[in-house]
């Protein structure tokens, strides 16, 4: 296995998954610009039908992910900063986590949520939380 930076490994994993399954889509804020480098080149490689740059609205993003997954897509939801999970938490807690059970297993929601987290990058208090303990159970 080649040595690479963690951000490059994330990008490689996204490329491999999107090549493996044409139903996989990536949605998120600034995924086109790839400010962290994790989504670099994906729009050019897979096109705007599969790489969706969205406006800043985490409630819309999480709802969009649920809807796309319920319709047969495999969704990679890029939340940019993990703090943004809080504003999209209604769909995460009440749809993503429950719809499979609520539908008796008829609806699967293959959604992967990715987000950067932690301090040390001068991104202010609203971009530095680590809320993953909310999502562990």
The set of catalytic residues is: 127
Owner of token pair 């008796």: 104
Both tokens assigned to 89: 């938490």
- The whole-angstrom separation of Cα 77 and Cα 91 is 12
Residue 64 contacts residue 27 (beta carbons within 8 Å):
yes
CA 48 to chain centre: 16
Alpha-carbon span 84 to 87, nearest angstrom: 6
Instruction: Give how far the C-alpha of residue 83 lies from the chain's centroid of Cα atoms, to the nearest Å.
Output: 13
Strands (E), the chain: 24-29, 51-54, 74-81, 111-116
């Amino acid at each position: 296995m080649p040595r690479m930076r963690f951000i490059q490994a994330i990008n490689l994993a996204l490329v491999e998954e999107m090549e493996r399954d044409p139903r996989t889509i990536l949605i998120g804020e600034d995924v086109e610009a790839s400010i962290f480098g994790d989504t670099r080149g994906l729009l050019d490689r897979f096109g705007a039908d599969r790489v969706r740059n969205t406006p800043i609205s985490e409630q819309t993003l999480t709802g969009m992910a649920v809807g796309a997954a319920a319709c047969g897509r495999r969704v990679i939801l890029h939340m940019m900063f993990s703090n943004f999970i809080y504003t999209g938490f209604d769909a995460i807690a009440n749809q993503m986590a429950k719809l499979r059970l609520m539908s008796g297993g008829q609806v699967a929601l293959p959604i992967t949520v990715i987000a950067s987290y932690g301090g040390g990058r001068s991104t202010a208090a609203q971009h530095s939380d680590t809320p993953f303990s909310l999502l562990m159970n």
